Amino acid sequence: MSQGKFSISKIFLVVVLSFAASLLLFGCGGGSGSSSDGGSGTLSVSLTDDAACGYDEVNVTVSRVRVHQNASAEASDAGWTDITLNPARKINLLDLTNGALETLGQTPLPAGHYTQIRLVLVPNTTTPLANSVVLSGTATEIPLETPSAVQSGIKLINEFDVAAGQRVDLVLDFDACKSVVKAGASGRYNLKPVIKVIPTVLNGIEGYVEVPSLGSNVYITAQQNGTVIASTVPTPDPPPNPNQGYFLLARLVPGTYDVVLTADGRTTTVIASVPVANSTSITVLSTSAEPILLPLSSTTPAARSISGTVTLNPASTSYEAIYVAAKQTFGSSPTVTVKSQAVAPSYGIYALTLPIDSPLLGHYGTGTLPIAFSPQPAAGQYTVEASFTGYVTQSANTNISAADAILNFTLVP
């Protein structure tokens, strides 16, 4: 993982220089095909990533980015325009947190309306592995298995217009945490890509966090109603502050978010009602002089587990993942996801290690820093939700203050 720290001024400079001529067209509708006066514009595509939970590396090898004007076009159909990476590029997605971008390339594109993007990966048929994961605290690459559908191109439906003489910049946000699916106890890991197209303009929520060991799976998320919208990990400061790190939850849709900070052996810390005013604003939660401290858990042990099996009835042949999330609610304050896991439906086995200390809650309020935190009466209490596309979500409450818990679910359409 990259160890360099990105300051906001440096990131803005990179973005401004890279996209000074860009026309941001994110998620726009309308359009009616090719322009009547012909001509061409330019399409530029970059890759970024949310954090990946439980991994030191998530590697994918990109060979092409393809675009088409027909949302239902197949990979073998005519009419595709390709950005070809020659040679194909192996990218550790975890180098692309905190707003960092990996430019995949650009191409001239006939003016018109486009409705489909495909990100094409190289299959794992070579040594070293094209696509792999490295588990936290280890050094061995484990194959990241990709289905044939991924090898023909990860299909993204996103409409954008290209005008003659203008440039369009698209950023593909690869959610590594949701995309890596553990296949039960088999030791295998599957790639079920979760990618969204996001704005190129940099905004978001930034701050500094202090943990005596930044390598202890420090994980920061921006959430709405308990749903994780964006995530990242801190970039460690250079000496003399090796226990302090900078984070940026980047490129958020303007709105209000709850920010959740977790780490192994540490107390869950939540900042409620954090505003992001517009597409260029940065909301500051803490500074390097007064970082957010994630305190050691006051309980022994610091954590316990919730585990079990999720069964689909009837079984599904879909390549979608089952998502299991452990959530906490603080009275009238927000419900947040503390930890989640994506599991393969063919196995359905999950295990979540969760803190049992009283979580800490603070409110952004008027933005006065430092933010004050207070313990909440939710120690060891969790609601576990199991969900799968096309099936009814189920949930169950449990308290793990005294012992581990086993919760099994059967999901039906």
Q: How many CB atoms lie within 10 A of CB 13?
A: 11
Please state which of the ranges 44-53, 62-71, 395-404 shows the lowest mean pLDDT.
44-53
Sorted by sequence, the CB contacts under 8 Å of residue 289 that are 6+ apart come out as none
**pLDDT per position as a tens digit, 298-326:** 888 888 999 999 999 999 877 788 999 99
181: left (phi over 0), alpha (psi -120 to 50) or beta: beta
Identify the band that residue 97 occupies on the pLDDT scale cut at 50, 70 and 90: confident
In CATH, the number for domain 303-360+378-411 is 2.60.40.1120
Task: Please work out, in degrees rounded to the nearest 5, the angle formed at the alpha carbon of residue 62 by the alpha carbons of 185 and 166.
Answer: 135
What is the rounded average pLDDT for all residues in the chain?
Answer: 84
Q: How many CB atoms lie within 10 A of CB 227?
A: 12
Q: Whole-model pTM?
A: 0.80
**pLDDT per position as a tens digit, 283-298:** 999 999 999 999 888 8
CA distance 253 to 330: 25
What is the three-class DSSP state of 192? coil
Question: CA distances (Å), 315 to each of 261, 411, 413, in order?
Answer: 36, 9, 10
Q: In the block, which residue shows the tokens 């088409």?
A: 68
In CATH, the number for domain 204-293 is 2.60.40.1120
Higher pLDDT, 402 or 12: 402
Task: Please work out, in degrees rounded to the nearest 5, the angle formed at the alpha carbon of residue 103 by the alpha carbons of 255 and 179.
Answer: 60
Tokens of 243: 């226990």
So what's the pLDDT on residue 36?
Answer: 41
Amino acid at the residue 19 = F
**pLDDT per position as a tens digit, 325-347:** 999 998 777 999 999 998 888 88
303-360+378-411 shares the fold of 204-293? yes
Identify the band that residue 34 occupies on the pLDDT scale cut at 50, 70 and 90: very low
What are the domain boundaries of the chain?
A: 8-198, 204-293, 303-360+378-411
**pLDDT per position as a tens digit, 131-158:** 999 988 788 899 988 876 566 788 887 7
Task: Please work out, in degrees rounded to the nearest 5, the angle formed at the alpha carbon of residue 299 by the alpha carbons of 295 and 300.
Answer: 125
